[in-house]
């Protein structure tokens, strides 16, 4: 339990089985390296050097087994350290054979054990990580051999194929894990919203509706009725917000619906309209500025906000039935030091890679057409 009494949510690491495969590979590969040395021990001029390398390999295998068995050890820096140590141990094999022996086909005591870092890098960095690790390992072995033959090309192809496929599997698994978490969060949020909706509807909303209705007939309660109506609309908006969307994005429709009041009507599609979080925040701020201008310069006017999504852009229209903006008023306001329209609306839309078009005139009301790219600034 947390300090506030809420449960601690623990997510299952779907990549854990793949990490166990990498750990098992290093252990099995070390055993195979020992067996390979024992079978070919007559091809080594001495025993001390290969046994020392095998011993160092055993120690490092134990270290990475512990590191890769823990979530805190499954990091890019750990795999890079693994790659560096593996290359150093590979370089140490020059002590196991006389000069020029590797170029004549002498066995390398590390064997396939050196492929381990490429597999680990594939898990943390996907296909690109697996490819990079495989190329570094192959380059180190090739440098040790001093030549590239058919066998070396075959080994490179096999290592790259395995590392890239493992990296692809890790990427797909990571995406599935993220989708699973989002689905679980959406389900929990929907259940909680339904529970709160029943409780609020049976109590707070009914009281607010009753206050608003009675206040209409009493001048002294007019302000109280207006406040009750505003809170009723805001509360209903909170109870009807959509499910969470993908990480790094926001549902623009939900954010705009929270701006609704008795004098502001918001309309848009029922399904989520996902945009980058920064785009959503700035666009809602621009809409809020336009509504604030209506409230300040056209008291009592009604306003409408409509959301019109397209495949590659999003259009938000904000209009009111006020008296409109007289010609020349905006330039005059800027000269007086009022930069709300130029900075808070036009400036925001320009930073988002979009546009803000104003349609207004005496007796025509005011209409803002705010357009932004669906995928954010380019």
Model pLDDT for residues 269-305, shown as the tens digit of each residue: 888 888 998 898 889 989 988 888 888 888 888 999 9
SS3 content of the chain, % helix, strand, coil (to 5): 65, 10, 25
> 């890098």: which residue's tokens?
121
> 């529970």: which residue's tokens?
195
Percent of the chain with pLDDT over 70: 76
Sign of the C-alpha dihedral, residues 291, 294, 299, 302?
A: negative
Percent of the chain with pLDDT over 90: 35
Burial class (CB within 10 angstroms; exposed 0-12, middle 13-18, buried 19+) of 147: exposed
Q: Residue 107, Cα to own-chain centre: how many angstroms? A: 46
Query: Is residue 318 predicted with pLDDT exceeding 50?
Result: yes
Query: Is residue 10 predicted with pLDDT exceeding 70?
Result: no
- What is the rounded CA–CA span in Å between residue 311 and residue 275? 11
pLDDT in tens, 225-253: 555 565 556 565 555 555 444 446 888 98
Pairing type for strands 313-320 and 366-373 reads antiparallel
* Distance set, CA 208 to CA 196, 202, 216, 229, 263 (Å): 16, 11, 13, 7, 17
pLDDT-derived band at 223 (thresholds 50, 70, 90) equals low
pLDDT-derived band at 339 (thresholds 50, 70, 90) equals low
> By C-alpha distance, which of 12, 23, 106 is closest to 67?
23
Q: Do 102 and 108 contact (CB within 8 A), yes or no?
A: yes
What is the average pLDDT across 56-60? 95
What residue spans define the domains of the chain? 1-244, 249-378
Q: Which residue has the higher pLDDT, 84 or 211?
A: 84
Domain 249-378 bears CATH identifier 3.40.50.300: no
DSSP 78: H
> By C-alpha distance, which of 310, 309, 264 is closest to 288?
264
pLDDT in tens, 113-125: 999 999 999 999 9
- What is the rounded CA–CA span in Å between residue 143 and residue 168? 28
pLDDT in tens, 125-148: 999 999 999 999 999 999 988 888
Average model confidence (pLDDT) for the chain? 81
Contacts of 78 (CB under 8 A, 6+ apart): 64, 67, 68, 120
Please report the pLDDT score of residue 335 as a whole number. Answer: 62
Q: Long-range contacts for 31-38 (Cβ within 8 Å, ≥24 apart)?
A: 32/111, 32/112, 32/113, 33/57, 33/109, 33/110, 33/111, 33/112, 33/113, 36/107, 36/109, 36/111, 37/107, 37/109
CA angle at 249 for the pair 231 and 1, rounded to the nearest 5°: 75
Output the pTM of the full model.
0.52
Please report the pLDDT score of residue 243 as a whole number. Answer: 45
């Amino acid at each position: 339990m947390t300090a506030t009494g809420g449960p601690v949510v623990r997510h299952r690491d779907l990549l854990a089985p793949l990490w166990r495969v990498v750990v098992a590979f290093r252990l099995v590969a070390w055993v195979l390296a020992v067996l390979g040395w024992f079978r070919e021990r007559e091809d080594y001029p001495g025993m001390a050097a290969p046994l020392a390398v095998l011993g160092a390999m055993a120690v490092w295998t134990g270290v990475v087994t512990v590191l890769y068995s823990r979530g805190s050890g499954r990091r890019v820096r750990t795999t890079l350290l693994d790659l560096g140590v593996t290359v150093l141990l590979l370089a140490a094999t020059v002590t196991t054979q006389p000069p020029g022996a590797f170029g004549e086909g002498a066995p390398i005591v590390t064997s396939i054990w050196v492929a381990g870092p490429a597999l680990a890098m594939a898990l943390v960095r996907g296909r690109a990580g697996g490819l990079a690790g495989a190329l570094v390992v192959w380059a180190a072995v090739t440098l040790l051999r001093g030549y590239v033959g058919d066998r070396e090309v075959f080994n490179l192809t096999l290592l790259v194929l395995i590392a890239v496929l493992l990296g692809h599997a890790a990427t797909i698994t990571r995406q599935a894990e993220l989708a699973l978490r989002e689905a679980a969060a959406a389900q929990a949020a929907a259940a909680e919203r339904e529970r709160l909706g029943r409780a609020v509807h049976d109590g707070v909303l009914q009281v607010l509706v009753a206050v608003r209705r009675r206040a209409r007939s009493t001048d002294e309660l007019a302000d109280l009725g207006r406040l009750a109506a505003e809170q009723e609309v805001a509360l209903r908006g909170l109870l009807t917000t959509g499910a969470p969307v993908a990480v790094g994005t926001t549902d623009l429709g939900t954010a705009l619906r929270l701006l609704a009041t008795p004098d502001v009507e918001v309309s848009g599609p029922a399904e989520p309209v996902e945009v980058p979080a920064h785009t959503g925040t700035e666009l809602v701020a621009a809409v809020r500025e336009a509504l604030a201008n209506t409230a300040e310069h056209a008291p009592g006017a009604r306003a409408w906000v409509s959301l019109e999504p397209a495949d590659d852009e999003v259009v938000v229209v904000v209009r009111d039935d006020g008296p409109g903006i007289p010609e020349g008023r905006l330039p005059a306001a800027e000269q007086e030091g009022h930069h709300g329209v130029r900075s808070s609306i036009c400036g925001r839309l320009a930073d988002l890679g979009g546009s803000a078009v104003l349609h207004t005139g005496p007796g025509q009301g005011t209409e803002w057409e705010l357009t932004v790219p669906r995928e954010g600034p380019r």
